[in-house]
Structure 1
Amino acid sequence: MIFAICLASLSLPIMASDKAAPSKDGRPKWGFLGDDADLLGTVKEADEAILACVYRIEFQHIQGPFAMVNLHVTVARTFKGRLKPNERIVIAFPIDTLPLDAEGRDKHLKALSDADLGNLRFCFIRRPEGVDKPYEAEWLEVPKFTSEMNDFMEAYHQRSNSK
C-alpha cells in the first residue's frame, strides 16, 4: 500500500538551547527516547541524525499486527553524518501494532499515513549495508518534530562542531 504527496519547500527557524523544557507530568522529556542523556546516547549510536520531511509511506510484509514501514523522506537538516539537505532516502523500520482484522488494519494504515505525510521527523538512523538498501531504524528513533527537540539537536550540533 503506497500513499504519496508533493513536498513543499522547508524553511525552519533554528535556535539553540542546552536542555529541553522539563516534563510537566514527570515522564521522560523525550518520551520513549528517555531524558537528555538517553537522547544523546541515541544520537551517538546513530550513523546519521537528521531532520527530514516525509513524502511517501509504504507498508510492506503486512502480516497480523506486523508490518515493515518504509518512510521516503527528504533530508531537511543534518545534525550528524554525511547526508546533505535535499537528499532523498528511504528509512525502514518494523511496527507491531496493526489491528488483526483487514478493515481495521486498512483504516489504521491510512490514518498512520495521513498523520505523517508532509510532516517533519527527526531520524536517528543506521547506514545500510549494501547498495539500494534502506537506512535502518526502530520506530522510536524517528520521532515527530518538536521545537524543543530541534533546539536540543541544534545545541548538540554546535557543540560537536566546536570540538
Structure 2
Amino acid sequence: MFRPDAPIEEIEQDVESMIVELVHELGRVAEADPNPVGAEERAYIQAFSDARANSDRDQAALLATAISRPNLAESLLYLNRRLDQEDLAPDEPVGIIGIIVRLAMDGLWVSDILDDTRFNQREREKITSLLTGMTYLTDDRLNAVLADIAPGGDAARGGSQGQKR
C-alpha cells in the first residue's frame, strides 16, 4: 500500500483518501438497500465485518491514523456523529440499535486487527447476522423486547423462552 520510503505527508494523504472513499462507499451501499430503515447500519456491518476481507485497505494503518491523527479520519467521525444524533433523536426510539450495531462493528474490526484468528468464518457470520437482524427492529418490537428483559419482565423471571446462556 505505502512505499517503504514514502514521506509521512504522502501516507497521510493516502489514509485520508481511503477513509473518504470508505464513507462514500457506505453511502452508496446504504442508498442501494431496498429497506431504508437500518440501511446505514447494514452498510457499516458490510464494510467493517471482516478486516481480512478488506485487503484493499491497510486496516492497521487506518486504525493507527484514527488514533494518532483523528483529523485525517474526519469524514468517518463526522458520519458517525451525524448518525448518532439521528439515532438519539427522541422520535426515533429504535435508533439506539444503530449506535449499538456501529459500536459492535467497531469492536469486531479492532479485534480483527489485533487478532485475526479470534473468530472463524461461522462465528463471524453468527455475529454479523445477529447485528444485521437487529437493524430490522421496529419501535414496537424493540419496546416489546425491552419490556421482556426489564427487571420483572418475562425474561427476568425466567420466562417461557427456555434460553440457555
Max Rg structure: 2
Q: What TM-score do you get using the length of structure 1 for normalisation?
A: 0.25
Question: Which structure has the highest helix share of the two?
Answer: 2
- Bigger RCO of structures 1 and 2 (CA < 8 A, at least 6 apart): 1
Q: What TM-score do you get using the length of structure 2 for normalisation?
A: 0.25
Question: Which structure has the highest strand share of the two?
Answer: 1
